[in-house]
Amino acid sequence: MKTNILIVDDVLTSLAVMTDIVKGAGFIARPVQNVKQAMEAIEALPPDLILSDICMPDIDGYEFCEMLKANPKTADIPVIFISAMGDANSRKKGYNVGAVDFIIKPFDFDEVRLRINTHMKNLVMQRELEEYNKRLHRMMNTQIAKITDDQRYLIYGLVRLAESREDPTGTHMLNVSANSAFLAQSLQLSPEYEKYISNNFIEDIGLAAPLHDIGNLTISDRILLKRGKLTPDEMIVMKTHTEIGARTLTEVYSHNEFSRYLGMGIDIAYYHHEKWDGTGYPKGLKGKGIPISARIFSLVDVYDTLTRDKCYRDAYSHEEALEIIKGESGKSFDPSIVDIFFKIQSGIRRN
């Protein structure tokens, strides 16, 4: 496709001469007499290059160039000024507003052709470089996505291994993932939480939720599957799963920061046993000092744990679990999150 060049000049003789030169050089010439016509022509078909006079009525060439550069749609179109004003100040002002070159009247055919050819070659090279960068970016994103997916499958495999001792079916991972995202999505509609919960947050918490107990890999069956109450010493060991899980995920995250969900997974793994009233562990955080991802997840996790059979008790019913959660509002759980949870409880994924 031939290069199309927009020529803007209010002097008809100059416009006709430049039009003939551009056509003679093998380009498509699109002559207009003022900036208004030029803007209409650009809207209809963006030119590859603009040749503009400077001294024009209403809007001069400098202001025209500034208008083009201020608009993202036209900012990359090269502008060459054609003018009888060839002094240093005029040139300096032209370059300052974004022009790439000056052609001084009267025109010389060979000079005009050479300058246009030079700038068009630069433009072609720039476009080829941009296209190359886009292809490179797409290839890099594809590789990152593959690495991220492979990494996630590996991590989820380890999580599944950790949880298989308590949950052979794997439904706990699926439930907390779906319910965390569902609760976060519902909180997004609340004025109190809408500024904290983005669509990315919702996606991330769905991916991060299953990672919460990866630290259980280091806890022995004797403690993890004990039917009776844990002794104080056993409880100390059990509590280490939060720190170990967070440390493990931090190490993975340090080698792949493209996996955004891992950052949230670290918070959930470390803080999901914190309580609203400050009596939880490992840090004894209180209220809104607990990351919102952990506050959302802890409620979802407790609900799912209550409604499934454990080695030391039978499952609670949905209604019984809701009563327990209601009783812990303001103690274990953020009251505002509990309120939203109760409003959406009919849509919660159950065991």
Verify that 84 and 227 share a domain, yes or no: no
Assess if residue 212 is contained within a domain. yes
Verify that 243 and 171 share a domain, yes or no: yes
Domain count, the chain: 2
Average pLDDT, the chain: 88
Stated pTM of the model: 0.58
d(CA 79, CA 66): 10
Per-residue CA distances from 163 to 56, 171, 209, 269 (Å): 76, 10, 13, 14
- Domain hosting 127: range is 4-132
d(CA 56, CA 345): 69
Amino acid at 258: F
Verify that 89 and 36 share a domain, yes or no: yes
Verify that 182 and 51 share a domain, yes or no: no
Give the domain CATH number at 232: 1.10.3210.10
Among candidate residues 219, 276, 267, 214, the one with its CA nearest the CA of residue 245: 214
pLDDT band at 54 (very low <50, low <70, confident <90, very high): very high
Q: What is the pLDDT of residues 76-92, one digit of tens each?
A: 899 999 888 778 888 89
- 170 half-sphere exposure, CB direction, 13 A CA radius: 6
Q: What is the pLDDT of residues 149-160, one digit of tens each?
A: 666 666 767 677
DSSP-assigned letters across all residues of 73-94: TTTTS-EEEEES--SHHHHHHH
Is the pLDDT at 318 greater than 60? The verdict is yes
Verify that 201 and 244 share a domain, yes or no: yes
Q: What is the pLDDT of residue 165?
A: 66
The H or E element spanning position 104 is strand 101-104
Q: What is the mean pLDDT of residues 108-133?
A: 81
**For residues 178-200, b (16+ Cβ closer than 10 Å) or e, as one string?**
bbbbbbbbbbbeeeebeeebeee
Q: What is the pLDDT of residue 258?
A: 62
Q: What is the pLDDT of residue 289?
A: 97
Is the pLDDT at 103 greater than 90? The verdict is no
Using CB atoms within 10 Å of the CB of residue 250, give its burial: 0 to 12 exposed, 13 to 18 middle, 19+ buried. Answer: middle
Assess if residue 143 is contained within a domain. no
Verify that 177 and 302 share a domain, yes or no: yes
Verify that 217 and 326 share a domain, yes or no: yes
d(CA 49, CA 77): 6
Across 58-67, 129-138, 214-223, least confident range? 129-138
